[in-house]
Structures are given as C-alpha cells and as structure tokens.
Chains A and B, each alone.
Chain A
Amino acid sequence: MNRIFETPLYPYTRSADQDALSAPHHRVVVVGAGPVGLAAAIDLALQGVEVLVLDENDKVSFGSRAICFAKRPLEILDRLGAGQRMVDKGVVWNLGRVFFRDREVYSFNLLPESGHRRPAFINLQQYYFEKFLVDRLREIEAEGAPIELRGMNRVEAVGLHPDHVHLEITTPEGPYELTCDWLIACDGARSPIRGMLGLDFVGKVFEDNFLIADVVMEADFPTERWFWFDPPFNPGQSALLHKQPDNVWRIDFQLGWNIDRKEELKPENIDRRLRAMLGEDIRYELEWSSIYTFQCRRMEKFRHGRVIFAGDSAHQVSPFGARGANSGLQDADNLCWKLRLVIEGKAPESLLDSYDVERIQAADENILNSTRSTEFITPKSEISRIFRDAVLDLSEHHEFARPLVNSGRLSVPAVHDGSPLNGPDALFGAPARTRPGAPATDAPLGQGFLLDRLGNRFVLLALGTEAPERLEEQGIIAEGLTVAPSQIGKELRERYLGEAPSAVYLIRPDQHVVARWPAFDETATRAALNRATARS
C-alpha cells in the first residue's frame, strides 16, 4: 500500500545560504515541521513575516500518532486556509461505547452543539494532517508568501544573543550557519533545542506502557469510539478502538509497567492480541505499531529571550483527551500575532510575556485533565481501583455515574481568565462563555459563520448597535463588524448577547475576546487595544 509517511515530502535541496560567505540572516526560524511548526510558519507568512522552517527529516510523521483534532484547532486551521481539507478527509464520530469487563455498560452521543462550522472533532492521521499543512505551505509560497521549508536540515547548536539567535546546521552536504531575530522551537517532546539550551522539563512519569496498533481492515464496526476497562482480552488493563480515514483503525492496548517491549512488538504477539479482541477470523494488515510511555510535564517558562517553545517541546501530556497536537496548535495561534506586532515595532517585547502567561495556564489545565484521565484509566492504589470499578458498575444502571467515567475528556480551549491582555467585562446579562479571555464561539452569520469574519486583526463586533468601520490607535487597527439586528440569529444572540439588548466586543487576531461593552465607547476601546498589545 501507499504509505505517505515513507515518501519524502520535502526532500533536501541545496540552499544559497549554504554558499554564503557570512551567516545569512532570517527574520524567524521555526525548528520542526510537525503540526505546530508548520501551523506557526504558515500563520506568520500569511501575516507577511519572513519565516524559514528547518526539519531534520524530509517526511511527514511516521505512523498515525496524533489522530484526534478538536473543534478549536480546526477553527485555527480555517483561519490559515487549511481547515476544509482536514475535515473533508477526517472521520467524524459522535457515538462512544464504554465496556467494563465482559459487557457494554453504556453508550453516549456527543450531540455536538449546532450552529458551528466545525464538528466537536475529527479523527485524522497525523501524517495526513502534516501533508495538508505542507500542501498549504506550498500554496502560499507559490502565491508569494515569505516562507521556506528545508528538509534534512538539522540544528546542531544554538547561540542565544540579546538581539539575535545564531544557528549551526548540518545537511547531507555539510554544515552551514545562519542567524535569525526569533527562533520558534517546535521540535517535539524530546526537543534538542531545549537540551542545547540546558533548560528544565520537569513533571510526572507514569509507570505504564501502551501498545498502539494501526490496522487496515474491512470491518463492519460502526464509526464509533469503543473503550474497554478491564476486558477479558486484556485483563486488568484498558483498550481503545477508534476509526481513522482509509479503513485504518487505531487500537490501543494498555500493557502495564513491567513488560518486554521487544516481545510485545513481535507481529505474532500483536496478532494474538488483535484476534482475542476482534475475533479469530478478522483479516487485517498492520500499518504501524509502537509502544509508548508518557509523562505529564512542562517547561517553567516557554519563552527564553529570543527562543520561544511551542507544542510538545514546551509541554507534554498523556494521550488521553487528545491534548498534545491540539494544544500545540493553540500555542501557535496565540504566539504568531504577538510576534508579528513585536517584529513590526507596534508592540513591546513584553507582549510575548503574555504568551507565557496564557499558554502556561492552558498547559496546566491540559496536564490536570490528562492526569485525571490517567488516574481513572490506570488506578494507582487499591482504593482508587475500588472507586473506579464502583463508578463503572453504577454507570451500567444509573445515568448519574456516567459523567464520572473518565476515558479522556474532550479537548476544549482554555479561557484566559485574568490574562494581563484582558479588558473590561462591562456587558450586563451577557453569557459567560464569551467573556474576556475566551475564544470567540462560532455562530451562523449570513450565509456563513461568525468566525470566518474574525481573526488576523483586531475586530470590533457590534450587535444591535454600531461600531466605526476602522479605528486606529498608534498603529494598531481595529476593524468594525456591525451586524444589523435582522442578521442576529438565535445562536449569535444566545452566545453573545444573553439578556443584553446590544453589545460591542473587541476581539483579538487569534479570535479571543479582549473586552465587551453595551455600546461603542471610543476611549474605552483605545485603552483596551493598548492593554491587549501590552502597551499600557
């Protein structure tokens, strides 16, 4: 079969930089062409910031790896012009089943809220995700966006200076050097850049191993997520079955701590497990298998002078709840507009400190959630297992116990309550979900959706009142988006007005709410714009 993760997608080519007499200079260098690095580079280039992506490899991720992409990251991809292709290819599921020992204890329907362009999440192999981002990168490159991707370029050394970063790079044709104003390290959980700078990465190791088997099979299982606690085919452990595009099924077996990795990865042993789980007569092809352990940890600070960490290099979580790639994309979303304003001299460098504040808050939330899921899935003490089993037993008979079952919580974006960039919440009777610090909730608007009209610049959203078309405050522009009363649908009203008759929202380039008021107030808006850009 055609494995896209075995084909070079951005093969090495010689760059003129390698023949330069002195180290050439770039505005921004992104290290790592994974989901986070590619998204960050596309975001910056679309905003006109010159960016170079270096990757030590020339292929997309080996194996499916991250497979669940949640709504908020899909909305971010829409802003980058890459969301539709992900959703077209991805698998949408709403029904989940929970099994305990030899029986199904209950099933649930996610029943996603209506009036959003994007589903609660999709399943999509990481290699497709990365391929689509590389496709998007090539598109904008062809349109003249200042972006370049170099495969087989490995960073060997980093020199951190007050006004620039110096890099030593090796390629198949030897080493070269370059400098940049800013370095974004998206080089994964084992981040070589983090190591080169001698930075900490502390947290909690979970003593457990998980076997992933991605199998291609023509199975008539429905498109559902099945999760087993303590099943007969994997006693005392858990298992997961999840569908991906192209009839690829993700099967995850918890193995415990004291295992023989080599033995477990032998195809005949994987085969034995698969047949015990799915039936003796299944026909399948093993696409990829891997054993992983995990940790929950983060760096103390994500920004170190001119080097900024994003994604797994900055924080690592357990896989339960799909919070790795999803939170990394939100890091990029949070960082890029701030970095652009700093590069353009419109905001002070201290604006980047808010990236630390906001994304560390999100990382802590993700670590908390994924640690709790881990505790439920793999109880660490006798009493923890007694309560876990009691919850599962009760869940078969009583609805009340089902919300306590935790096989991974849906990844939802953090609301940056208390962020130094937030302005006033001065709208009486307004819904909490769109308060300052929250990502703007989608809602139908005209023929499309609200989020299509937000992002990439500050927007003044006026509902049932008016905002000026354009407001400039010391080089920062806010564009007005006035929605006529006849255009305010049920969802827009519920999500942005609540009991308020009218509203003006100031919304950041990453679609997060800065402030809200009952009507346009020029002085207050100017103050909020200054605050949201760390200029006051």
Chain B
Amino acid sequence: MSELNLTPNIPDPDDFYAELLAAHEGLTKAESDALNARLILILANHIGDRKLLSAAIEAARAAGQE
C-alpha cells in the first residue's frame, strides 16, 4: 500500500464503532485519553510507513479545520 486509504475499508462499520465506544465505557476522561493515545500508537506502529503516517496526520488535521 502506497496511498493512504480514505475510502470505506472496515467491513462492519457499525460493529467496529460500537466496539470502539465500548472500550471507553466506564472510563474517566483521563483514562479515555490514555486509551486513545495507546490505540493511536499501536495502529501507527502497525502501519509503519512514514509517508502514510504523515498523510494520516495531515488528513486528520485538515478535517478538523473545515
């Protein structure tokens, strides 16, 4: 993979989304922030490709500015 995939890629989106939120259930704000940070680091390491990671950071940043 050489381009950041920004098209739908998760087979069961509703299920994934529910699982993501369920992981945060019952956590304080600080615990949730920590979980998110760990999750980002694990996913980033799995991707590994520095260009893709830069593209992902940029896509996340840009979407927040709209």
Instruction: State the A residues within 8 Å of B (CB).
Output: 383, 386-387, 389-391, 393-394, 398, 400-401, 404
Assembled-state Cα–Cα distance A120/B5 (Å) = 42
Chain B residues with Cβ below 8 Å from A393 are 34, 38
Which B31-62 residues have a C-beta within 8 angstroms of A? 33-34, 37-38, 40-42, 45
CA distance A387 to B39 in the complex (A): 10
Task: Return chain B residues, CB-CB under 8 Å to A387.
Answer: 37, 41
| Least CB separation from A390: chain B residue | B37
Closest to B46 in A: A400
- Cα A390 to Cα B42 in complex, Å, equals 10
A185 to chain B minimum Cβ distance, whole angstroms, is 40
User: Which A residues are in CB contact (< 8 Å) with B45?
Assistant: 400-401
A391–B41 alpha-carbon span in the complex (Å): 8
Question: Could you tell me the dominant secondary structure of chain A's interface residues?
Answer: helix
Binding site for A on B (CB under 8 A): 33-34, 37-38, 40-42, 45
Residue of B nearest to A404 (CB): B41
A390 to B45, CA, bound (A): 13
Measured in the bound complex, the distance between the Cα atoms of B37 and A401 in whole Å is 12
The interface residues of chain A lying within 8 Å CB-to-CB of B37 are 386-387, 389-390
Residue contact B34 to A394, C-beta cutoff 8 Å:
no
User: Helix, strand, loop or mixed for chain B's interface?
Assistant: helix
Q: How far is the CA of A189 from the CA of B41 in the complex (A)?
A: 38
Cβ contacts A to B, 11 pairs, < 8 Å: A386-B34, A387-B41, A389-B37, A390-B34, A390-B38, A391-B41, A393-B34, A394-B42, A401-B41, A401-B45, A404-B41
Which A residues are CB-close (under 8 A) to B42? 394, 398, 400
Q: Smallest Cβ distance from B49 to chain A, in angstroms?
A: 14
Contacts of B38 in A (CB 8 A): 390, 393-394
Given the complex of chains A and B, what is the CA–CA distance between A191 and B17 in angstroms?
59
Which residues of the partner chain A approach B40 to less than 8 Å between Cβ atoms?
390
Rounded to whole Å, the gap between the CB of B47 and the closest CB of chain A is 12
Distance of A239 from chain B, by nearest CB (Å): 22
Q: In the complex, A398→B45 CA distance in Å?
A: 11
Of the candidates A389, A398, A401, which one forms a contact with B34 in the assembled complex, judged by CB atoms under 8 Å apart? A389
B5 to chain A, nearest CB (A): 22
7 A-B pairs with least C-beta separation: A390-B37, A400-B45, A390-B38, A386-B37, A386-B33, A387-B37, A394-B38
CA distance A390 to B41 in the complex (A): 8
In the bound complex, what is the Cα–Cα distance between A393 and B41 (angstroms)?
A: 11
Contacts of B34 in A (CB 8 A): 386, 389-390, 393
Chain B residues whose CB sits within 8 angstroms of the CB of A404 once the complex forms: 41
Q: How far is the CB of B38 from chain A (nearest CB, A)?
A: 5
**Besides A386-B33, A389-B37, A390-B40, 11 new A-B residue pairs in contact (Cβ under 8 A), listed by A number:** A383-B33, A386-B37, A387-B41, A390-B34, A390-B37, A393-B34, A394-B41, A394-B42, A400-B42, A400-B45, A401-B41
With a cutoff of 8 Å between Cβ atoms, the chain B residues found around residue A386 in the complex are: 33-34, 37
Give the shortest distance, in Å, between A445 (CB) and chain B (any CB): 37
B62 to chain A, nearest CB (A): 19
The residues of B that contact A383 with a CB separation of less than 8 Å are 33
Q: Contacts of A400 on B, CB cut-off 8 Å? A: 42, 45
Distance, CA A451 to CA B26, complexed state (A): 62
Tell me, in angstroms, the Cα distance from A401 to B44 when the chains sit together: 11
The distance in angstroms between the C-alpha atoms of A404 and B45, with both chains bound, is 10
Closest chain-B Cβ to A399's Cβ sits at a distance in Å of 10
**Chain B contacts for A394, CB-based, 8 A:** 38, 41-42
Q: Name the residue on B nearest A400 (C-beta).
A: B45
A389 to B34, CA, bound (A): 8
Tell me the minimal C-beta distance from A476 to chain B in angstroms. 42
- Minimum CB–CB distance from B45 to chain A (whole Å) comes to 4
CB-defined contacts of B33 to chain A, threshold 8 Å: 383, 386
Within the assembled complex, what's the spacing in Å between the Cα atoms of A390 and B34?
A: 6
Residue of B nearest to A401 (CB): B41
The smallest C-beta distance from A397 to any residue of chain B, in angstroms, reads 10
When chains A and B are docked, how far (Å) is the Cα of A398 from the Cα of B40?
A: 14
Tell me the complex Cα distance, A389–B33, Å: 11
Chain A proximity of B50: nearest CB distance (Å)? 13
With a cutoff of 8 Å between Cβ atoms, the chain B residues found around residue A389 in the complex are 34, 37
